[in-house]
């Protein structure tokens, strides 16, 4: 995206380097031209909308009542993976992992409305068209960039202390991005004709670019995945699906929704 031209955003902010440590801040200069500033606004809105929809998912799925029932007073740690804190039992950890997966599924269903509005907006808004392109593969482009923006957000929230472990409530950002790709695709294709092959190519290409950039600033360490990382992503995803068979009905008495 072109970075030349008059600056529309020109300021400094104290950036929180690690969400686990709010004290460690770095002064970041934000200098963006009009289209980059617009893009930053769209992608940050996608991520904040996803967070809100995810929390709505926890409420609608009955996880708040479930948490009190199964674990007593406590809270779901959304904003960072604090694996060094209070240890949970294996069963509680696995149940929470299923809850996060289900809250993500609800979030994707709700966020698909936002994605659809962006696709519509390409036809009437010059800046949206400049951001996503207006010639071809528009639904696939909007969807792919949404997924990649969420991956960047998950990677940041995971924190610079990233480790591949099984005792976090949230899966590795790349695992989450891959199943969210499938969930968002399923929800959005109800309204738009989406070519899944093109979507896969775009997501893979932009995820690769972004992973390089995130590794460069130490926000992501893919070394734990090694060369087998695609099969490890599948292993993690399969594990979540099998845990869902065990814990998927744990909050049935409190949920507002039913899964088809
Ligand atoms: Zn959650």
The string of DSSP codes covering 49-65 is HHHHHHHHHHHHTTHHH
Q: 51 CA to middle of ligand 1, Å?
A: 8
In a domain, 26, yes or no: no
Dist. CA 48–CA 114, nearest whole Å:
12
Q: Please choose, from the candidates 186, 199, 44, 172, the residue with its C-alpha nearest in 3D space to the C-alpha of residue 108.
A: 186
Q: 207 CA to middle of ligand 1, Å?
A: 23
In a domain, 63, yes or no: yes
Q: 220 CA to middle of ligand 1, Å?
A: 21
In a domain, 35, yes or no: no
Q: What is the pLDDT of residue 78?
A: 63
In a domain, 16, yes or no: no
Q: What is the dihedral sign for C-alpha 102, 103, 106, 111?
A: negative
Q: What is the pLDDT of residue 214?
A: 79
Give 201-206 contacts, CB < 8 A, sequence gap 24+.
Answer: 202/137, 202/140, 202/141, 202/144, 203/144, 203/147, 203/148, 203/177, 206/144, 206/145, 206/148
- Residue 141 near residue 202, CB atoms below 8 Å: yes
In a domain, 203, yes or no: yes
Q: What is the pLDDT of residue 17?
A: 73
pLDDT averaged over 10-residue windows placed end to end, the chain, 260 residues: 85 80 82 93 96 96 92 66 58 90 96 96 94 91 97 80 56 88 95 95 91 77 63 87 93 86
> Residue 28: helix, strand or coil by DSSP?
strand
Q: 57 CA to middle of ligand 1, Å?
A: 8
- Count of domains in the chain? 1
Q: Which domain holds residue 188?
A: 41-247
In a domain, 148, yes or no: yes
In a domain, 30, yes or no: no
- Ion ligand 1: residue ranges with CB closer than 5 A: 78, 100, 103
Which tokens hold the place of 175? 């695992």
Residue whose entry in the numeric block shows the structure tokens 């994605």: 115
In a domain, 219, yes or no: yes
Alpha-carbon radius of gyration of the chain: 19
Q: 32 CA to middle of ligand 1, Å?
A: 32
Which tokens hold the place of 29? 């200069």
> Residue 139: helix, strand or coil by DSSP?
helix
- Which pTM was predicted? 0.87
């Amino acid at each position: 995206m072109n970075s030349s031209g008059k600056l529309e955003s020109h300021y400094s902010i104290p950036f929180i380097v690690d969400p686990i440590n709010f004290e460690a801040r770095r002064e970041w200069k934000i200098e963006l031209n009009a289209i980059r500033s617009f893009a930053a606004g769209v992608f940050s809105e996608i991520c904040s909308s996803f967070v809100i929809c995810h929390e709505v998912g926890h409420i609608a799925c009955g996880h708040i009542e479930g948490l009190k029932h199964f674990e007593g007073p406590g809270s779901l740690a959304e904003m960072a993976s604090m694996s060094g804190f209070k240890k949970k039992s294996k069963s509680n950890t696995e149940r929470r992992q299923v809850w996060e997966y289900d809250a993500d599924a609800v979030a994707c269903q709700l966020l698909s409305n936002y994605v659809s509005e962006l696709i519509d907006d390409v036809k009437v808004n010059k800046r949206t068209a400049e951001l996503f392109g207006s010639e071809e593969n528009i639904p696939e482009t909007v969807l792919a960039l949404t997924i990649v923006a969420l991956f960047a957000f998950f990677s940041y929230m995971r924190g610079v202390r990233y480790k591949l472990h099984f005792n976090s409530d949230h899966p590795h950002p790349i695992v989450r991005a891959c199943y969210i790709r499938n969930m968002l695709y399923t929800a959005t294709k109800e309204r738009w004709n989406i070519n899944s092959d093109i979507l896969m190519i775009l997501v893979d290409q932009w995820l690769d670019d972004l992973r390089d950039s995130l590794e460069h600033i130490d926000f992501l360490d893919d070394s734990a995945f090694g060369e087998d990382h695609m099969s490890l992503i599948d292993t993690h995803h399969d594990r979540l699906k099998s845990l869902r068979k065990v814990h998927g009905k744990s909050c049935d008495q409190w949920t507002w929704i039913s899964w088809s």
